[in-house]
Amino acid sequence: MPIDQVSILRMCGACRHEIETITVKKDNMRLFVDEKVWCELCQSEQPEVRDVAGRLETIRTEQRHYPVSPTSGPPVLTTRDEA
């Protein structure tokens, strides 16, 4: 993706259901809009909220790589000691 393009996630303001992802020029990026969007989960028009899609993806990746606890890793050292 070109550096001047940014992916915007359009979501239902009520339930955060993802409506669609749009790509806009950074110069035209608007995260705060006063528009209504049809939400199929709410079965009604709801205020549209937006977020930068790339930022959400980054957060998900960080959470996936973050260890749950220091002892949750594979027992690599133990296996090697027994062999």
Question: Which residues contact Zn ion by CB under 5 A?
Answer: 12, 14-15, 17, 39, 41-42
Whether the Cβ atoms of residue 52 and residue 8 lie closer than 8 Å to each other: yes
Nearer to Zn ion, 26 or 36 (CB): 36
Distance in Å, CB of 83 to Zn ion, minimum: 55
Nearer to Zn ion, 6 or 49 (CB): 49
Distance in Å, CB of 52 to Zn ion, minimum: 20
Sequence length of the chain is 83
Angle at 59 between CA 21 and CA 74, to 5 degrees: 130
Nearer to Zn ion, 25 or 36 (CB): 36
- Which of these, 15, 9, 23, 4, lies nearest to 60 by C-alpha position? 9
